[in-house]
Amino acid sequence: MDEEVNNLLAPIYYNIENPSSFSSASKLYHIVNADGKKIGYHKIKRWLNAQDNYSLQKTPRRSFKRLRVYTTGICNLMDVDLMQVSNLSQRNSGYNFILVAIDCFSRRLWMQESKSKKGDDIAKAFGKILKSAKIDKIRSDVDGCFKSKVVQKLFKERGVRHFVTKNEIKANYAERVIQTIKNKFYRYFTKKRTYRYIDNLQKFVKSYNATPHRSLNYIAPNDVTPENEADVWVQQYLNKKQSHDKKARANTKNTKQLKTEADSMRKKRMQQRKSYKFKIGSFVRIAYTRHIFNRSYSQKWTDEIFKVVRRFKKQNINIYKLGSFYNDEVILGEYYSSELQAVDKSDASLWVVEKNQRLSSTLSKSNEKCNLRLVSPSAQMVEMAKESLEDEGLQIKGKKRKRKTSPKTSSSGANIRKKKREPKRDNNFTEAIPSQLEVFEIPPYQLGVESISFEECRPTSQVTAYNPIEFNLCAQNGLEYIDLKRSKLYVKLRVKHSNGDNIAIDSKVAPVNGFFYALFSQVDCYLQGSLISSSNTNYSYKCMMKTLLDYGQDAKASQLTSALFYKDRSGHMDSFDTNTGLYERKKLIVMKHITLMMGSTNAVLENIFQDVKPKRIIMGLTSTNAVNGDYQLNPWNFQHFDLQQITLYCDGVPVDGIPLKLQFNEDRGATNVAAYVKMFENCGKWGGDAGMK
């Protein structure tokens, strides 16, 4: 890099008060030349590409011409992917995935439900799809379920060739149709007030296949047949998209004329071949794939720098193969020009030590050279080591350093340094001292919150017996913040008989314990239209278990009474006259639900948790009639039901190594100590001065 250009641009670009500080190349060019410093635009652009703060934050181009997927006809190439619907599995017979397959030529869709990603389940779903279609090739992402032995055996038996893509954009046809089907799902959910789709899954498929597609010139997938296959192929790959107007389609030229014109246009494009943007050996960064929650100011390019090792053309589009920065080892995937950014770096200007240590002037003795093995490039290490290291290719030379000792004194058992050390790192690290020494420090004060106010928000939906109650919490502007932790829900209700009649004064009726939580079977929280909470119908049981195990006696006897929590009397849970907790309530007038058959001596429950592994699992057994709303039974009456042994497996390995054996029959000698101790351990209260009441 020209030292003169760097000396001119660095003071301007890194001065925050300057109008062109941390700006784009064009703005910096105009400001610099307006001050009379004649520097060319390409020199400024090259200098900015060498600045990591610019190249890592530069906005990459997302919309550009990409390679087309060419097929020879119907069922020649099929895109497959898994649609994850585990958040809806409780309402849909336990199905967590939907296998989505789409013909890239006719856009014909197939969907089959699957309970897991195991090879047997995926092969079963593929078997149903391949019965109705003879497929030549299947394209998918690198998901392991498609590479399982069972699935690959099925492909081999049916004569199907399976391959995967190496780039970040995978089976794009399947990913796009998943977005369309999910939109249909949730519109259906909103209208029908239900989350059950499994009964109508094939109806969604039938509707999609009968819908005219713009990419097919407004022809439905069902209408693509072997008779018009050639015309559809020419329409997709050789001719420009026609208008859906009937008159325009009536005036369409015949297939032979269209093919002749397309060949001439293709030859003309080949004559106007564009030059390559990057040379072989150029250093580049790769743009990150954009995600829905990515911020516009977050890092958009890789820290690691790659080298262009090969370039070629596909469909008259420039394609590049990249290799490692030092050994030219080719990495997987092919990249477009718009996915790469040129970086003006040299081998000598990139310093990263293979060992995990701090670079300082203690790397070598005075005027003595030491060789360090350098691996991948990183800009952060340059700033940290620039005052201690001198750039001499791959040679690193240390500075002189005089060894000094810091005097110490003892006071109250603590050593206090009288001489302050100079920080070895940059300004991202701040100094701190113990709070006992902040005698004369000014207390900090916050500037983030100007005022706090509470507002009443009423439901946006009509409150009925079976419809969900919706609240829409929105700030008035972008400067307001909603503190959900301090939000409270107030409920005013009236209890009646199931037929709507009023309850007599002398009737023995009282709410169950924790009546506030028992009112709601499911509570969902959405942020910007995305579900961010677990979705199931056991919200009340989750709250009750948290109340019993996480709160002490003081909280239960005071603040939790606002939710009508009064501890039930042990042994009298289902009794109205002797249950003291029920009498007190009368004066005030990710959970899993699994049913075990009566009389069964053992039960095996598989795939209880599909997503994130839980930190702890709390299991309670209660009567099915109580859960289903029997007015004579207490739904919180957890019983052992003579449980003798329970084992929890995680990925096929028993948790804690051995089963938990129980015995509640006192005649045989009750053995419940292990389970009792484990309850305190899992709640983090074992060995401490705390209990659970």
Encoded tokens for 578: 């002797």
Residue with tokens 């017979």: 93
Residues found in the chain = 693
Pair 277, 337: CB distance under 8 Å:
yes
pLDDT at residue number 373: 41
Element (H, E) at 410: strand 408-411
Long-range contacts of 366-373 (CB under 8 A, 24+ apart): 366/398, 366/399, 366/400, 366/401, 367/397, 367/400, 368/397, 368/398, 369/395, 369/396, 369/397, 370/396, 370/398, 371/395, 371/396, 372/396
Pair 621, 641: CB distance under 8 Å:
yes
Where do runs of H (alpha helix) occur along 519-602?
539-550, 553-557, 580-588
Residue 147: what are its φ and ψ, rounded to 5°?
-100, 5
Calculate the CA 332 to chain-centre distance.
24
**Hey, which bits of 418-483 come out as E strands?**
none
Encoded tokens for 570: 């042990």
Q: Which residues of 166-201 are buried (b: 16+ CB within 10 A; e: fewer)?
A: eeeebbbbbbebbeebeeebeebeeeeeebebbeeb
Pair 350, 377: CB distance under 8 Å:
yes
pLDDT at residue number 595: 72
For the chain, the 3-state helix, strand and coil shares in percent, each to the nearest 5, are 30, 15, 55
Distant-in-sequence, close-in-space partners of 119: CB < 8 Å, separation ≥ 6: 145, 148, 149, 150, 151
Tell me if residue 582 falls in helix, strand or coil. helix
Pair 96, 85: CB distance under 8 Å:
yes
Pair 152, 162: CB distance under 8 Å:
yes
Spatial distance between the Cα atoms of 10 and 416, rounded to a whole number of angstroms: 40
275 DSSP assignment = P
Calculate the CA 616 to chain-centre distance.
22
pLDDT at residue number 458: 82
Encoded tokens for 430: 């701040």
Spatial distance between the Cα atoms of 404 and 2, rounded to a whole number of angstroms: 39
Encoded tokens for 90: 């409780």
Spatial distance between the Cα atoms of 576 and 511, rounded to a whole number of angstroms: 11
What's the distance, Cα to Cα, between the start and end of the chain in Å?
Answer: 71
Each residue's pLDDT tens digit, 574-592: 666 666 666 565 555 455 6
Spatial distance between the Cα atoms of 150 and 121, rounded to a whole number of angstroms: 9
Identify the segments of the chain with pLDDT beneath 70.
Answer: 1, 57, 60-66, 166-170, 239-259, 261-262, 265-274, 289-300, 345-430, 454, 475-479, 558-564, 569-593, 599, 610-612, 656-658, 666-673, 686-693
For the chain, the domains span: 3-50, 77-224
- Identify which of 664, 656, 665, 660 has the alpha carbon closest to the alpha carbon of residue 646: 660
Spatial distance between the Cα atoms of 104 and 221, rounded to a whole number of angstroms: 11
- Which residue type, as a one-letter code, is found at position 522? Q
pLDDT at residue number 604: 77
For helices 119-131 and 149-158, the axis angle rounded to 10 degrees is 20
pLDDT at residue number 258: 63
R_g of the chain, CA atoms, integer Å:
34
Tell me if residue 517 falls in helix, strand or coil. helix
The DSSP line for 162-219 is: EEE--SSS--HHHHHHHHHHHHHHHHHHHHHT----GGGHHHHHHHHHTS-BGGGTSB
Spatial distance between the Cα atoms of 23 and 499, rounded to a whole number of angstroms: 70
pLDDT at residue number 370: 44
Spatial distance between the Cα atoms of 512 and 547, rounded to a whole number of angstroms: 14
CA dist 240 → 234, 270, 306 (Å)? 9, 18, 38
Spatial distance between the Cα atoms of 328 and 240, rounded to a whole number of angstroms: 41
- Angle value at C-alpha 484, between 480 and 486, nearest 5 degrees: 100
Encoded tokens for 110: 């197939």
Spatial distance between the Cα atoms of 486 and 488, rounded to a whole number of angstroms: 6
Spatial distance between the Cα atoms of 184 and 506, rounded to a whole number of angstroms: 52
- Identify which of 484, 483, 490, 479 has the alpha carbon closest to the alpha carbon of residue 456: 490
How many other C-beta atoms lie within 10 A of the C-beta of residue 693? 10
Pair 41, 49: CB distance under 8 Å:
no
- Identify which of 664, 542, 652 has the alpha carbon closest to the alpha carbon of residue 604: 652
Q: In what order do the strands lie in the sheet with 395-397?
A: 369-371, 395-397, 390-392
Spatial distance between the Cα atoms of 106 and 315, rounded to a whole number of angstroms: 22
pLDDT at residue number 26: 81
- 600 sits in the region (left: phi over 0; alpha: psi -120 to 50; else beta) called beta
Check: pTM over 0.85? Answer yes or no. Answer: no
Distant-in-sequence, close-in-space partners of 678: CB < 8 Å, separation ≥ 6: 660
Each residue's pLDDT tens digit, 310-352: 888 877 788 888 888 777 778 877 888 778 888 876 544 544 4
CA quadruple 185, 190, 194, 200: dihedral sign: negative
The CATH architecture one would assign to domain 77-224 is 2-Layer Sandwich (3.30)
β-bridge mates for residue 687, sequence order: none
pLDDT at residue number 427: 57
pLDDT at residue number 669: 57
pLDDT at residue number 114: 92
Q: Which residues of 605-625 are buried (b: 16+ CB within 10 A; e: fewer)?
A: eeeeeeeeeeeeeeeeebbee
